[in-house]
C-alpha cells in the first residue's frame, strides 16, 4: 500500500508565502512600533519603573532634609563647588541620602538628590 500526497492547487505556494510575510510584518510592527511586549519584558519594565519611583521619592525626602537643616547656604556652596558626578558622594558622606531605618543609602538616591538641589543648567 502506497501513500500518495494529494495535489495542491497551483496558487497555494504564493498564497502561503504572502500569508507568512504578512504575519512576520504584523509581528514586527506590533513589537517594534506599537509597543507590544512579552511578559518578561513587561515585568522588567515594571520593576525598573517602580525602582525609579522609589529613588525619586527618596531623593525628594533627602532634598527636604538637606534644605531644612541649619547652615544651608554653606552646605549648598560646598555642594556647588564639587564636581557634578561626585555630588552624590558628598551627600552620602553627610548622611543625607540614608533614609530612616536604613544602614546604607539606596543606590541612585544621592545623585538624584544632588540633581534636585542643584539642577543642571540647560
- Find the helix or strand (DSSP H, E) in which 68 lies: helix 39-68
Query: Cell 529613588, residue?
Result: 55
CA distance 30 to 34: 5
Average pLDDT over residues 52-65: 95
Q: Where are the domains of the chain?
A: 38-117
- Across the chain, mean pLDDT equals 90
Mind listing the pLDDT tens digit for each residue in 44-55? Answer: 999 999 999 999
Residue 122, pLDDT > 70, answer no
Does this model's pTM top 0.75?
no
Amino acid at each position: 500500500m502506497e501513500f500518495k500526497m494529494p495535489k495542491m492547487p497551483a496558487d497555494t505556494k504564493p498564497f502561503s508565502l504572502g500569508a507568512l510575510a504578512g504575519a512576520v510584518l504584523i509581528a514586527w510592527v506590533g513589537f517594534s512600533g506599537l509597543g507590544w511586549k512579552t511578559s518578561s519584558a513587561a515585568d522588567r519594565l515594571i520593576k525598573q519603573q517602580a525602582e525609579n519611583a522609589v529613588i525619586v521619592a527618596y531623593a525628594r525626602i533627602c532634598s527636604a532634609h538637606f534644605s531644612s537643616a541649619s547652615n544651608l547656604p554653606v552646605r549648598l556652596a560646598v555642594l556647588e563647588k564639587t564636581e557634578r558626578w561626585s555630588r552624590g558622594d558628598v551627600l552620602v558622606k553627610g548622611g543625607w541620602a540614608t533614609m530612616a531605618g536604613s544602614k546604607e543609602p539606596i543606590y541612585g538616591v544621592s545623585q538624584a538628590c544632588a540633581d534636585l538641589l542643584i539642577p543642571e543648567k540647560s
